[in-house]
Amino acid sequence: MAAPATPGAQVPPAPVALGDLSGEGSRGLPDTRSEPKQLPELIRIKRDGGRLSEADIRGFVDAVVNGRAQGAQIGAMLMAIRLQGMDLEETSALTQALAESGQQLEWPKAWHRQLVDKHSTGGVGDKVSLVLAPALAACGCKVPMISGRGLAHTGGTLDKLESVPGFNVIQSPEQMQVLLEQVGCCIVGQSKKLVPGDGILYAARDVTATVDSLPLITASILSKKVVEGLSALVVDVKFGEAAVFPNQEQARELARALVGVGAGLGLRVAAALTAMDKPLGHNVGHTLEVEEALLCMDGAGPSDLRDLVTKLGGALLWLNGQAETQAEGAARVAAALDDGSARGRFEQMLAGQGVDPGLARALCSGSPAQRRQLLPRAQEQEELLSPADGTVELIHAMPLALVLHELGAGRSRAGDPLRLGVGAELLVDVGQRLRRGTPWLRVHRDGPPLSGPQRLALQEALVLSDRAPFAAPSPYAELVLPPTGAQQ
């Protein structure tokens, strides 16, 4: 296979020795006793910095899924893992145990080298999955994407798709197989039958301050992908002020863990590090992001979104042996955007997952103005003006996301209703020259006008400088690759 040929740094995974994922290093030898340990003993071992054997970890996950583990015991084990870490073998065992805690997805053997997926750690304006899944399907892949909902300031792919009237994210394994046969992709929610152990642990992590544990994040992401029976996976690990990880080095640590554990489980994983200081694209908010995804599938739209879609897709096609180089893979994805084949697959996916075929056709064939009439819209629009002359140095994503959250575009807790039409359009690009009084942001809202603090927060998100206009850098920073043997 030819060497990768993608702009941006490419980082082979550092050798991951036992203890690399643990904060204190690992102590003790694997336990060879056949008699299962009780939960308090397992918690004590990890609390004191010891290793858990594969049998120990399977016993813990089994107790969690079958209800034998008390909430306090689950929280104690998660905190012990958060503080003491897990080595590569422990993390692999946890990933496998979670993957096997529920139903396994099984596909025809002929699909073996076609099954691929992409996962993102979440950001602001991140609508890549809406574009990439159908684009990969148009390139001959099968994409059984199990996605999530938004929480806090990040938007969820499922919520965005549900802004299209009739779209149903609940699909049985049998329905998923039909969609993969007929369309080539589906985007569905995690059910109670698929990876239930991860669902329980994630809910507990959310209320025990253990969300940021590297081994727990790794096992949560990869367990869902192991269940999908994939041939290859690319993970978009975001870093920056509006991401889980504030800097690139922390993101790289997770990327290496994902790649290393994936290789141990027989899954080819590449992890892209991408910047999330400014929103991705121009639109933020559920309906508005669907509109921008369609624009990208028209072969148009913001350059940063297209760049990320084509590079992530190109890396995945190369990793899966469907392109000789990453550049060739990226060109194939770009062609699917430009010739309408990705948009055609998106239309088929909408219709296959419950959208009226006439609405799906109108959305995918209409102009941007026509599309806006077909999707939920906010009641009012309000523009903000540039306070001075200058070049747009940065538009901070976090203040924008937080204000939109206050306006109803996000949830404070799972199950909260969403205002699907609420959002914002960036009317300028980073690097562009602005004159005082020029509109730079259009807010779509359902309620009263923006409050003074909200307007101030949004205006402070716009950073102007005196330098000459410039081309904005790509958000794509580097790619962490699996060991050479795992790429074949």
Q: Any idea which residues carry the catalytic annotation? A: 117-120, 157, 205, 220, 224-225
Rounded distance between C-alpha atoms, residue 7 and residue 330, angstroms: 11
**Residues with Cβ within 8 Å of residue 154, at least 6 apart in sequence:** 122, 123, 124, 126, 242, 401, 410
Contact assessment for residue 430 and residue 395, using Cβ atoms and an 8 Å cutoff: yes
Distance from chain centroid for Cα 274: 11
State which H helix or E strand residue 391 sits in.
strand 390-395
- Extract the tokens encoding 278: 């400014």
Beta strands 268-275 and 476-480, pairing class: antiparallel
E strand map for 84-164: 116-120, 143-147
In 3D space, the residue among 270, 215, 217, 222 whose CA is nearest the CA of residue 243 turns out to be 217
In 3D space, the residue among 265, 225, 272, 229 whose CA is nearest the CA of residue 115 turns out to be 229
Widest CA span of the chain, in angstroms?
74
Output phi, psi for 271, to 5 deg. Answer: -125, 120
Alpha-carbon distances of 422 from 134, 194, 379, 402, 410, rounded to whole Å: 25, 32, 9, 13, 9
- Extract the tokens encoding 212: 């940021």
**Residues with Cβ within 8 Å of residue 33, at least 6 apart in sequence:** none
Sign of CA dihedral 378, 381, 387, 391: positive
Rounded distance between C-alpha atoms, residue 47 and residue 76, angstroms: 9
